[in-house]
Structure 1
Amino acid sequence: MSAPLDLLVLGNAIVDVIARTDEGFLSAQGVAKGAMQLIDEPRAEELFSAMGPATIVSGGSGANTAVGAAILGAKTGFVGKVREDELGRLFAHDLKATGVAFGVAPAKDGPATARCFVLVTPDGERTMNTYLGACQGLSPADVNEATVASARVTYLEGYLWDPPAAKDAFRKAVRIAHNAGQAVALTLSDAFCVGRYRDEFLGLIRDGSIDILFANIGELQSLYQTDDPDAAIRALRDERDNRGRHLLGLVTRSEEGSVVVKGGEIRAVEVSPVREVVDSTGAGDLFAAGFLAGHARGLDYVTSARLGALAAAEVIQHIGARPQGDLVALARARGLI
């Protein structure tokens, strides 16, 4: 039997290539500001050649959450696919160095390790162009039953819904987790991702596959197809699965803080103070990390959301989606842990 985990994340194993840029560059490259779009390998090479100086770090939305939760003391594992190449080895090394268990065998051949080109404009907004590469090879065979059954929460990155085999891997993980009496979480990841899979995501919520939902307000509005953010939150509040259960919803609203939606109730949670927004990459990932780390410690939902807000605030004050400050010390100074 695998050692018990607080959190097991299924996500795209991606190396981030981060560069500062301006809106003129975005326009010239024909990319939509603030969005994530999928690109092929030739486009990846073209974009990399056109970019300015870049920082290369291990990333991927779910992996960022796994790392943040581990830094905050949660016992964490990650399931994702890399190629046995230079970037794949970098990704695995970085993940393990932060204490995240990562045992998925790399692909021996096929597409290269995934890369995400993150273009950061002066206002801190990030625009992402992602070559999925090897991470699309994640399959049910990579999901270890004992590992999933040991995890208190299994967390799915919504972007995984693009590759069919990865979708099957998550369905397998849902089945194992629920058979073991454990919880399953989903992050909607991106409004465009929601647009592609709205009916399927709603199906996961309504058939009882999902116990915890993470979303930013734009993603939630896309899910419920409304321009009214309050209406989207009310729709989530009223959501029930096929057994009549309310799910736990965590919705981030940028500088307006977040809300916790549970049992027909909505609780607002204040934002954590920020000196300057440098790069918003990873804000939602780290909010989820802080919340789930607090949940693992037995904190109530609102305090866990405050811990999530603190983690998100730290990561947006520097380039890159992984924490650079001492999150534990910050949390203790705020009386959160």
Structure 2
Amino acid sequence: MNPIELITFGESMVLFNPGKAGALRYVQHFHKQIGGAESNVAIGVQRLGHQAGWFSRLGNDEFGKFVLSTIRAEGVDTSKVIVDDRGPTGLYFKEKRNKRDVRVTYYRKGSAASFLSPDDLDESYLKQATCLHLTGITPVLSPTCRSAALEAVRIARQNGVMVSFDPNIRYTLWNSSDAKTTLCAIASQCDVVMPGLQEAQFLTGKESPRDISSYFLEQGVSAVILKLGEQGAYFAVKGHEQFVPAFPVDDVVDPVGAGDGFAAGVLAGRLKGWDWDEAVRLGNAVGAMVVQTDGDVEGLPAFEEVERFLQKPAADVSR
């Protein structure tokens, strides 16, 4: 196996994707898939040509075996995954009222992943990576998960590993004041912060991309990348800021997972040694491709597919 360039950890679950649009009470058939913000990024980076590693705790059940075998089949290193008898593998259901209204219901309380703790971190494993990627989902799952996230950041910083952070706020799980305090504390210790615009406004109390970026840069963050949805993305590093336009998409099939695809594209670009504008453009392209496919990981492209996508005229990039 090639050296592991990106490592991430957090809960991955079995996704039940409805066979038709409408309220779940009218749906009779579902497609069984997987999803999880961190494993989505790991799979995305792997498909873009870089070795990724992901770990978590999974229930000692058939769903856990399904999650593990699916992620492992993508080439992602899963050697540090722990099978836990104390809790089940989490589940979630998508509800597609229409293409622009996709709702998600989670069944994750007491899941195996909620038992993640600092004791599950292998320092020698983490420090080999070029990048550690975290999201704001893991710290809210339990106090031990929060401690694990903070300890992972400490290990990475101590060993010169770049730390990437996507707040990915699950508002239904957080107390508002706790979210701001915890996530801003984590962000201030990271090299790259990639929030959505509304998330960033919530965390910083600032409104404009420039003011938001200044807030994080003053905290010691090296690069701030704001996801602006259909408009594209804005990034700022010391001495430079730039807006990178999105790629137009005619038919949004499933918007869930687009942010993870974006993060995978940005991080893969940086692992390739690209400048920030090129990496963010790659993130925009991957995000645009993801939303055109049903499922969290099914639309994550191989690098050669993105290259073909980027070569098409602007009017044709959605086809």
Tell me the TM-score range normalised by the shorter chain.
0.7 to 0.9
1:204 alignment partner in structure 2: 186
Asked if 2 retains the 8 angstrom alpha-carbon contact of 1:68 and 1:323, the reply is no
Asked if 2 retains the 8 angstrom alpha-carbon contact of 1:161 and 1:167, the reply is yes
Identical amino acids, percent of aligned pairs: 24
CA-based RMSD = 2.3
Distance change in 2, residues 1:273/1:173 (3 Å) = same
Q: Which range moved further: 285-294 or 133-142?
A: 133-142
2:102 alignment partner in structure 1: 126
Superposed displacement of residue 190, structure 1 = 2.4
Give runs of aligned pairs for residues 5-154 of structure 1, distance below 5 A: 5-19=4-18, 20-22=20-22, 25=23, 51-132=27-108, 133-154=111-132
Asked if 2 retains the 8 angstrom alpha-carbon contact of 1:237 and 1:266, the reply is no
Unmatched tracts of structure 2, length 5 or more: 313-319
Superposed displacement of residue 164, structure 1 = 1.1
Superposed displacement of residue 51, structure 1 = 4.6
**TM-score normalized by structure 1?**
0.83
Asked if 2 retains the 8 angstrom alpha-carbon contact of 1:79 and 1:143, the reply is no
2:316 alignment partner in structure 1: none
* One-letter amino acid matched to 1:295: R
Runs (4 or more) in structure 1 with deviation over 6 Å come to none
Asked if 1 retains the 8 angstrom alpha-carbon contact of 2:56 and 2:82, the reply is no
Q: Structure 1 residue aligned with 2:235, among 246, 255, 260?
A: 260
Asked if 2 retains the 8 angstrom alpha-carbon contact of 1:191 and 1:218, the reply is no
* One-letter amino acid matched to 1:239: F
Superposed displacement of residue 297, structure 1 = 0.5
1:161 alignment partner in structure 2: 139
* One-letter amino acid matched to 2:71: L
Distance (Å, rounded) in 2 between the aligned partners of 1:327 and 1:271: 19
Report Cα offsets for 1:219-246 as digits up to 9, x if no partner.
Answer: 11211235x4x2x54222243456xx34
Q: How many residues align?
A: 304
1:186 alignment partner in structure 2: 165
Distance change in 2, residues 1:246/1:126 (3 Å) = same
Unmatched tracts of structure 1, length 5 or more: 26-46
Q: Structure 2 residue aligned with 1:237, among 191, 214, 221?
A: 214
Superposed displacement of residue 80, structure 1 = 1.3
Distance change in 2, residues 1:330/1:169 (3 Å) = same
Asked if 2 retains the 8 angstrom alpha-carbon contact of 1:5 and 1:75, the reply is yes
Distance change in 2, residues 1:105/1:93 (3 Å) = same
Report Cα offsets for 1:71-108 as digits up to 9, x if no partner.
Answer: 00111000211111111001011111111101234334
Asked if 2 retains the 8 angstrom alpha-carbon contact of 1:191 and 1:222, the reply is no
Greater relative contact order structure (CA < 8 Å, 6+ sep): 1
